[in-house]
Amino acid sequence: MSESTYTVPIGPQHPALKEPENFTLTVDGEEIIDVKIRLGYVHRGGEKAFESRTYVQNMYLIERVCGICAMAHQLCYVNNIESMMEIEVPPRAHYIRTIVAELERIHSHLLWLGVAAHEIGFDTLFMYVWRDREISLDLMEEITGNRVLHAANTLGGVRRDLSTDIISKLRKGSKIIRERAEYYKKIGLTEKTILKRAAGVGILPYKDAVELCAVGPTTRASGVKKDVRKFDPYSAYDEIPFDLITYDSCDVAARIYVRVDETIESTKIIDYAISHLPSGPIGVKAPRSVPPGEGVSLLEAPRGEDIHYCKSNGTDKPERYKVRAPTLGNWASMARMLIGGYVADVPITLAAIDPCMSCTDRMTFVDANSDKTWTWSLERLRKHAKKFYGR
């Protein structure tokens, strides 16, 4: 390869990205020197929309911030509003919410495991993992009526109760999922071709993970002990014993193992929650408007820490509702991971933080079909390359 570098645009439309985001990789041969991030292609102006809808309507809009972790966002929103209204949610509702949240974590992690396998060309694992993910989707459909976008919560509790036969199905399903997850862990540890593509790739050292405020499995794979279910417990997580999974090899392989272990942990949480399910009502009546004030709520979504900030002015519409989805927390560390790697590693490193673009983009009201054509000027890059080689 000649001395000059050239830019490889990954995105906005690219087979490795399920949703459009745009990276400009300055590449010298296969090695990546610089990464520039550009987001906003599926931006739907969520926060402006929140301000023009009532708290009841927002419950369904907040759910559509992300198609995969819908329950996570809605639970975070409901916790936030309920704590500002100061209403007491019955314990049975807390347990049902925890069960559905954990089922969603299983479905999201298995979905990611399949996509990651596909990224490195292992389509067989992709097929098997997505077949087993169907068990968790069917269970969620049984409980809430929908595979995803379940609308399981309402202000003050849960909308549907768990009947005895759903509980027996839950027990059977979680046992099968645990066996399969353990099998995939064995595969992940022993299959050499996966290790070749995942071990030592996309390194995010502990110091960078803390400094760049990475969240979720990405940061736990670098040894950082941060899990909202532990440091700021909500719903029934303070009563349910489960352990915090961290690995410290800081690479894509560690992220695979963290997620598979968390799937196994989720099945244990579900089993505990079922056997200790308290009886009683599943919801209380909630007023329509929220007293003026502020509220911050945190939640451990499958991809990481999800934070909501609400400022209310006493009416039935929020004055300001800020959502920062987990993926936005990981983009800064993503750029750090890519530099120094190979172009061939971009898809798996990118997929390793399990980016959920629809979560990240929801700020302003913009129809962002960026008709930007990608012209790469060699001069500017050559200057950049000289600076790079000069260093």
Partner 1 sequence: MAMESELLRHLGKKPATIVYPFEKWEPIDAFRGKVEFDMAKCIGCGICIHDCPAFALEMVGKGLTCDMKWYPSRCIYCGQCVESCPRNAIVQTHEWNLSDSQSVEDAGKSSERWILFKRPKSE
Partner 2 sequence: MIETKREQEIVDELKEKFGQKIIETKVQKPRRVFVTIDSNSLIEVAEYLAHEKGFTHVSTISGLDLGKELGVIYHLIEESDLAITLSLRANIPKENPKLSTLVKVIPGSVLYEREVHELFGVIFTGHPDLSPLILPEKWPSGVYPLRKEWKVEDLKAKINRMRK
Partner 3 sequence: MIEVLKLLIIPGIFFLFSLALFYQWLDRKFYARLQNRYGPLHTGRQGILQPFADFLKLLAKEDIEPKAVDKYIFRGVPILFLTISITALFLIPMSGIEAFTHFEGDLIFILFIMSLVAILAFLGGWCSTNRFSTIGGLRAAVQTLGFEVPLAIAFIGPAILAQSLSITEIVRWQAENNLWAIALNPLGFGIAIIALLAELEKIPFDIPEAETEIVAGWQTEYSGRKLALLRFSFDLELIMAAALITALFLGGPTGPISVFPGIIWFLIKATIVVLILSNLRALFARFRIDQMVSGSWKYLVPLAILQIIVLQLILG
Residue 60 binds which of partner 2, partner 3, partner 1, none (CB < 5-8 A, kind-dependent) = partner 1
DSSP 342: B
Burial of 151 (0-12, 13-18, 19+ CB in 10 A): middle
Under 8 Å between Cβ of 218 and 203: no
| Residues with Cβ within 8 Å of residue 80, at least 6 apart in sequence | 295, 296, 297, 308, 310
Query: Nearest to residue 77, comparing CAs of 146, 129, 18, 154?
Result: 154
Distance of alpha carbon 112 from alpha carbon 185, whole angstroms: 14
Distance of alpha carbon 135 from alpha carbon 173, whole angstroms: 6
Distance of alpha carbon 348 from alpha carbon 63, whole angstroms: 28
Site string for partner 3, 173-202 (x = CB under 8 A): ------------------x-xx-xx-----
Contacts with partner 1 in 116-155 (CB under 8 A)?
124-125, 128, 131, 134, 141-146, 149, 151, 154
Contacts with partner 3 in 123-152 (CB under 8 A)?
123-125, 127-128, 131
Size of the site for partner 2 (CB under 8 A): 46
Using CB under 8 A as the binding rule, whether residue 238 contacts partner 1 is answered as: no
Distance of alpha carbon 301 from alpha carbon 215, whole angstroms: 10
Query: Nearest to residue 303, comparing CAs of 71, 120, 134, 77?
Result: 71
Burial of 225 (0-12, 13-18, 19+ CB in 10 A): exposed
Residue 143 binds which of partner 2, partner 3, partner 1, none (CB < 5-8 A, kind-dependent) = partner 1
Using CB under 8 A as the binding rule, whether residue 363 contacts partner 2 is answered as: yes
Least distance CB 219 / partner 2 (angstroms)? 9
Using CB under 8 A as the binding rule, whether residue 118 contacts partner 3 is answered as: yes
Under 8 Å between Cβ of 246 and 215: no
Contacts with partner 2 in 255-294 (CB under 8 A)?
293-294
Query: Which H or E run contains 272?
Result: helix 252-275
Residue 8 binds which of partner 3, partner 2, partner 1, none (CB < 5-8 A, kind-dependent) = partner 3
Site string for partner 2, 24-43 (x = CB under 8 A): -------------xxxx--x
Contacts with partner 1 in 148-207 (CB under 8 A)?
149, 151, 154, 159-160, 183, 186-187, 190-192
Question: Sheet holding 31-38: strands in order across?
Answer: 6-10, 22-28, 31-38
When the beta carbons of 2 and 279 are compared against partner 3, the nearer one is 2
Residue 342 binds which of partner 1, partner 2, partner 3, none (CB < 5-8 A, kind-dependent) = partner 3
By CB under 8 A, name the binding residues for partner 2: 37-40, 43, 45, 47-49, 52, 83, 210-214, 226, 230-232, 293-296, 298, 305, 307, 309, 311, 320, 322, 324, 328-329, 331-332, 361, 363-370, 372
